[in-house]
Amino acid sequence: MPLDLLKDYQIPGTSPGTLTAAEGESGPARIFLTSYTPGRLETREVADAEALRGLAAGEGVHWVQVIGLGDVSTIGRIGDVFGLHPLALEDVVHLGQRPKVEDYENVVFATCQILEAETGSVGKFQVSLFLGPGFVVTFQESGEDRLAPIRSRLEVPQGRLRNRGPGYLAYAILDRVVDSAFPALESIGERLEDLDDRILERPDRESMERLQEIRKDLLRLRQVLWPQREVLARLARDEHDLLGNDTRLYLRDCHDHAVQALEVSENYREMASGLLDIYLSSLSNRLGDVMRVLTIISTVFIPLGFLAGVYGMNFDTGGGWNMPELGWKYGYLAFWACCIAAASGMLYLFRRKGWL
């Protein structure tokens, strides 16, 4: 699995603000408009971006949700309708962006990454957000609507989301993004726990491969969580007309969640490094055990080989000093008795010394 640490980028020499379809994205973009006040909620799909013109001047809060980054013409028209900066729109269509926040006159732009636990890995999905007077515009990749929980919360008339302004909606979206890290971290924690038991019991090549996959996931999380914490810190700290004091209070809580997720991620990185050391130590111990057994076997057979070599010499047995044992009636049994006694004695000695 590639590390995916380098974001999608423009061809060198391309004019700043040029919009190109995001990598892997194609087809038309889907535009959903959600307009609400404390007493009214309306959600509909919009076919033409020009139908959104004039929304910011209307009553209530308007959330424009764009799913799909392959239709750059539609993205450009939405930018014209809401006065979004071309450089910010360029960041929207380039996936893998480092989470950041920028202030463009009357619009706050933020891009961040939703983390999701997939089969054997962790995926990240970019969400870009524009906050302006009376409106919020979000862009996300095609496929599943990863901001659907926010829509569900808007259906509750007594909820805070329905009774507050666009700044609180932007906070709710960012809170959804930050909290997505915890299920992903929980998945990594379970994988680390299983791998810990496996490495202690039976370290093998598969364990090393699984450990490397976890380390790649943690590196990917670090790439997201560090700058995402900075984004929340800046939004909670800086004063802006679009973010009131009450909203910044909630953003500070969201920043605490980002810090907590980052700390858990760093702890898991330490655990993964520790497991790598344990794996290498286990391999070294196994190699030492194998070498000890082979050494003992070799040591035991050295005197046996000596005895077999001596009595395998073809000397004349007629003389009194020319191996009289070869003429004994029980010479063969005596040879084996000596061999067994020598081997048993050495094994007993090795055990007494703790070598076995």
Residue 135 near residue 61 (C-beta atoms within 8 A)? yes
Enumerate the β-bridge partners of residue 222: none
From 275, 151, 133, 255, select the one nearest 211 (Cα to Cα).
275
Q: Phi and psi of 66, rounded to 5°?
A: -110, 125
Check residue 141 and report its DSSP letter: -
- Amino acid at position 116, single letter: E
Q: What is the CA radius of gyration of the chain?
A: 35
Residue 99 near residue 125 (C-beta atoms within 8 A)? no
Residue 92 near residue 69 (C-beta atoms within 8 A)? yes
- Amino acid at position 110, single letter: A
Amino acid 14: pLDDT: 61
Amino acid 2: pLDDT: 47
From 315, 165, 313, select the one nearest 242 (Cα to Cα).
165
Q: Report how far residue 113's alpha carbon sits from residue 148's, in angstroms, rounded to the nearest whole number.
A: 16
Amino acid 3: pLDDT: 52
CATH architecture of 30-282: 2-Layer Sandwich (3.30)
Q: Report how far residue 161's alpha carbon sits from residue 155's, in angstroms, rounded to the nearest whole number.
A: 9
Domain ranges of the chain: 30-282, 285-352
Q: Which residues of the chain have pLDDT under 70?
A: 1-18, 56-58, 314-321, 324, 326, 355-356
Output the CA angle 176-181-187, nearest 5 degrees. Answer: 135
- From residue 131, how far is each of 64, 82, 208, 215 by CA, in Å? 11, 10, 45, 35
- Predicted TM-score (pTM) of this structure: 0.77
Enumerate the β-bridge partners of residue 322: none
Long-range contacts of residues 244-250, Cβ cutoff 8 Å, at least 24 apart = 244/165, 244/167, 246/164, 247/164, 247/165, 247/167, 247/168, 247/171, 250/168, 250/171, 250/175
Q: Which residue has the tokens 């028209």?
A: 77
Amino acid 328: pLDDT: 72
- Count the neighbouring beta carbons within 10 Å of the beta carbon of residue 254: 21
Amino acid 179: pLDDT: 92
User: Do the domains 285-352 and 30-282 match in fold?
Assistant: no
The 3-state DSSP class for residue 294 equals helix
CATH topology of domain 285-352: Methane Monooxygenase Hydroxylase; Chain G, domain 1 (1.20.58)
- From residue 183, how far is each of 54, 105, 122, 311 by CA, in Å? 39, 36, 10, 73
